[in-house]
Amino acid sequence: MSSLLLKNARQVVTAIDRGKPLSGKQQSELSVMNDVSILVRDGMIREISGESLSADRVIDCRDYVILPGLVDAHTHIVYAGSRYEEFYQRIAGSTYLEILEAGNGIKRTIRETEAATPEQIYSESSRRVENAISRGTTTMEIKTGYSSSVDGESKMIDVMDMIATSYRINIIKTLLPLHAISMGRNEREHLSYVIRDVLPRTLERVDFVDSFCDSGAFSPESTESFFAAAGNRDKRLHSDEIENIGCLSLASKFKLKSADHLLKTDDSGVDKLLASGTIANFLPITAFSLGERYPDVRRYINKGVPVAISSDSSPLTRNQDLIFALYLSLRFYHLSAEEAFNAVTINASHSLGVADKTGTLERGKRADIVIADVSDFREIPYEYSSQPIQTVISGGNIVFNRR
């Protein structure tokens, strides 16, 4: 592979990799280097230096800021169909659970995704993936869960594999068969179907398993049974989005990599995350879309819980823009720019188990790099409604270029 030199960047900004998720005061620590260059060869970062370097291809970055590729650790980006009517129903006062109980919401997306071919799902999902890449995402977690059949779950994993091949970004696959109770089954029957039929055919194809543990979805007891059946596969958890029903009691037992949403988490839940070492993954675009009160994220940082930020791109929140998520996290979570950037890079990569490969800019890691047309990295959330991203590099490949 030819070499690439990103020359004389105004700023090179990166988290400091301490071998574990950043928390407390460390979450606000960033390394900012001025007038340095990055040498990329064979898809890896080989050198970061203020000295003169050479390569087969050179990009002059003297007017630009360089950052690690952004890491989106929670998406439902693979699906078919639209739920635009639900947007208007929520405006008119319908709640999430009312829409779901009427057979819409997640249940509608299940019907539309199951009716679509893999090629149709890929075509629709690709546009969303391309938008995410154009906003700086180079690593993306994608969940299954829009299916009530084993073949449907497998089809969604097939589409994830197609995306990984076509777009050359890091795709982390999560099995989420406990997303919505399928039509014609009760919760116990759905759980039995998942353990008996879904896990044997899909578990070896994914990196994580996940459960929507919440009111109107699955109980802590069902989630515990599912996680136990999934064995040593790493685990994530949707929790406390609608109500707090005690799901975070599972954090220590299953060594959760992350707990996500957390709109209704109380102090005891925060303590459970701290005790278990679980990353708190917040989804500000979801709170924005649902009109929910934003959680007090400062409470987690002050207690020493590592915080990540993700998009939750889905039919409910049709937004793949981590820059907008950054803006919301500064504006409504009251994070500093440093805390927020660490949340969408190093901490998100730790939550996906890939921090040894990506999430920072340093020698020996994948060349997952964003070049932004700003004078200071703190301008990026400020410019959320414009397009500050000029070039996105994933594994040394230029996957988006506005120039």
pLDDT reading at 72 higher than 80: yes
The arithmetic mean of pLDDT across residues 42-57, rounded, is 95
DSSP string across 281-317: EE-HHHHHHHTPPPP-HHHHHHHT--EEE----SSSS
The four Cα atoms 344, 110, 171, 20 give a dihedral, to 10 degrees, of 40
Architecture of domain 71-351: Alpha-Beta Barrel (3.20)
The arithmetic mean of pLDDT across residues 13-24, rounded, is 96
Q: Kindly report the pTM of this predicted structure.
A: 0.96
User: In the chain, which residues fall in CATH 3.20.20.140?
Assistant: 71-351
The arithmetic mean of pLDDT across residues 270-290, rounded, is 97
- Identify the pLDDT of residue 257: 98
Q: What angle do CA 360, 362, 366 make, to 5 degrees?
A: 75
The arithmetic mean of pLDDT across residues 35-58, rounded, is 96
Per-chain mean pLDDT for the chain? 96
The arithmetic mean of pLDDT across residues 104-127, rounded, is 94
Pick among 3.40.640.10, 3.40.50.300, 1.10.287.110, 2.30.40.10: CATH of 4-68+360-401: 2.30.40.10
Residue 129: which pLDDT band, with cuts at 50, 70 and 90? very high
Helix, coil or strand: residue 119: helix
Count of residues making up the chain: 403
Residue 101: which pLDDT band, with cuts at 50, 70 and 90? confident
- Tell me the backbone φ, ψ of residue 71, rounded to 5 degrees: -120, 115
Exposure string (b/e) for 110-127, b if CB count within 10 Å is 16 or more?
bbbbbebebeebbebbbe
- Identify the pLDDT of residue 43: 97
Residue in the block written with tokens 């970004």: 169
pLDDT reading at 97 higher than 90: no
State how far Cα 201 lies from the chain centre. Answer: 25
For residue 217, give Cα distances in angstroms to 130, 165, 191, 277, 395: 31, 33, 11, 25, 38
- Identify the pLDDT of residue 156: 98
- Identify the pLDDT of residue 24: 98
The arithmetic mean of pLDDT across residues 239-261, rounded, is 98
Residue 1: which pLDDT band, with cuts at 50, 70 and 90? low
For residue 345, give Cα distances in angstroms to 240, 306, 307: 24, 12, 11
The arithmetic mean of pLDDT across residues 267-287, rounded, is 98
- Identify the pLDDT of residue 90: 85
